Amino acid sequence: MTAGPAIRNGDGADAALAAAAEALCAAGRRLAARGWLEATSGNLSCRIDGRRIAVTLSGREKGALTPADIVAIDGRAPPPAGVSAETPLHLSLYRRVPAVGAVLHVHSLAATLASQRAAAEGGIVLEGYEMLKALAGIATHETSVTLPVFANDQDVPALAKRVEARLGHGPGMVGYLLAGHGLYAWGAGIGDAMRHVEALDFLLTCELEKERLFR
């Protein structure tokens, strides 16, 4: 697969890219402070415009990101060298639902363990929690949400196709898990994606604690 070119602006004149980079740096600091992006793990992205996506470069410490660690890529082309190997998972979401404006991937303890625990079931049912109202489109705790779990795979393009086939092309779901790996969550912007990450991690922590305390 031939990589598409990165779309960069070295002279800093691209105000939209600069704003996206600053927002992703702030998100990286916030998530890293929670211990969810250890050892350079995770990857973050947001939509710049109708074509471009700002994404973190591979191997960067997310709690210490600078704008130099963020590049703009063509959302319609294969990802270029240097960005995270998991970028196809981000691009699949942007292409699948135009309303997606940001995607955050974290390796929190709760997401890693809960995803491994539920790998065989293919999903985790979350129901009866007030925190469900933090997820877009949910207005009551009297609901049930199934968070999909996918088997991890080092063939990321193939994994992206499996994820897309299961999620479909409509709005609704705001996250999924990779077994033994972590959580992907998204939203209309970085603020929405951050809220979804935090809410889902809280709910997964509740599920783990419930199993520990009431088994």
123-149 pLDDT, tens digit each: 999 999 999 999 999 999 999 999 999
Round to whole Å and give the CA distance between 118 and 148: 9
Round to whole Å and give the CA distance between 89 and 125: 23
* DSSP secondary structure of 124-178: EEEES-GGGGGSTT---SS-EEEEEEE---S-HHHHHHHHHHHH-SSS---EEEE
What percent of the chain has pLDDT above 90? 87
SS3 188: coil
- Judge whether 46 and 24 are in contact, CB under 8 Å: yes
Round to whole Å and give the CA distance between 23 and 92: 21
- Mean pLDDT score of the chain, rounded to an integer? 92
Read off the pLDDT of residues 144-203 as tens digits, 9 standing for 90 and up: 999 999 999 999 999 999 999 999 765 678 999 999 999 999 999 999 999 999 999 999
Q: How confident is the model at residue 14 (pLDDT cuts 50, 70, 90)?
A: confident
Alpha carbon 88 to its chain centroid, in Å, reads: 12
Round to whole Å and give the CA distance between 67 and 17: 9
Round to whole Å and give the CA distance between 111 and 47: 25
Domains of the chain: 6-214 (3.40.225.10)
Round to whole Å and give the CA distance between 132 and 119: 22
pLDDT the model gives residue 175:
97
pLDDT the model gives residue 169:
63
pLDDT the model gives residue 171:
62
Q: Looking at the predicted structure, is the pLDDT value of residue 55 above 50?
A: yes
Mean pLDDT of all residues in 76-100: 94
Round to whole Å and give the CA distance between 77 and 81: 12
pLDDT the model gives residue 176:
97
Percent of the chain as helix, strand, coil, to the nearest 5: 40, 20, 35
Q: Looking at the predicted structure, is the pLDDT value of residue 7 above 70?
A: no
The pTM for the full model equals: 0.92
Mean pLDDT of all residues in 14-32: 96
Mean pLDDT of all residues in 88-109: 96
